[in-house]
Amino acid sequence: MKKIILAISGASGIIYGLKLLEELLKNFHVELILSSSSLKVMKHETDFNINNLNDFKKFYQFENLNIYSDMDLTASIASGSYLTEGMFIVPCSMKTLSAIAHGYANNLITRAADVMIKERRKLILSPREMPLSPLHLENMLKLSRIGVIIAPPIPAFYCKPETIDDIVNFVVGKLLDAMGIENNLYRRWNG
Ligand SMILES: Cc1cc2nc3c(=O)[nH]c(=O)nc-3n(C[C@H](O)[C@H](O)[C@H](O)COP(=O)(O)O)c2cc1C
């Protein structure tokens, strides 16, 4: 199985990261990194009663899934010698965005992203904040200019979503499209 990295940081929209995980597990060996803040936001935004990484690991047991804390800088994915197809950060907080834009690789998420950039591998960020400050916008532009894909979780309404699932499927489908992964998660515009 090809390997792919997914990081979930502590921005709102954890549901997008979890749906993306579900889709990636169908075809990839997934290297999942969870920031400590993501676990706090997950507790607020989902029905999982998760207080720490071990709680999360009890819910997600798959042979093709490795789960890391963002503090684990000894993990294989901290090195460019470990080959992967690319990396998603979904959702991406403004803090993590800023660290990546400045090469500040202080945890496993920002280090793995730094590796993607230096090895010229695909890196897709889904930053979430509203409104966006000039600093947020500058950080996004800086990364976009060096080839990082900035794909915020913004739904479209031309496919007439009726449920939260419809909206999540649209966003996750577009993220998979950006990585070049085939999917039928949303109804495409055919003119
Ligand atoms: C309920 C909740 C929602 C949050 N939503 C956002 C958000 O949408 N965007 C953001 O940049 N930060 C958000 N934050 C703040 C981040 O969690 C915080 O900046 C944290 O330091 C990010 O760390 P991480 O990037 O290492 O996960 C939220 C925090 C909480 C508790």
Report yes or no: 174 and 186 within 8 Å, Cβ to Cβ.
yes
What is 2-179's CATH topology? Rossmann fold (3.40.50)
Strands 86-92 and 2-8: parallel
**Per-residue confidence (pLDDT) for residue 43, from 0 to 100:** 94
Residue 73 confidence (pLDDT): 96
pLDDT number for residue 69: 97
Residues of the chain with pLDDT below 50 are: none
Ligand 1 contact, 101 CB (< 6 A): no
Compute, in angstroms, the gap from residue 92 CA to the centroid of ligand 1: 9
User: For residue 48, what pLDDT is reported?
Assistant: 85
Distance 2 CA to ligand 1 centre (A): 30
pLDDT of 49 reads 85
Q: Measured in angstroms, how far is the CA atom of residue 9 from the centroid of ligand 1?
A: 7
pLDDT number for residue 50? 87
Tokens of 161: 């979503």
> What residue segments make up the domains of the chain, in order of their start?
2-179
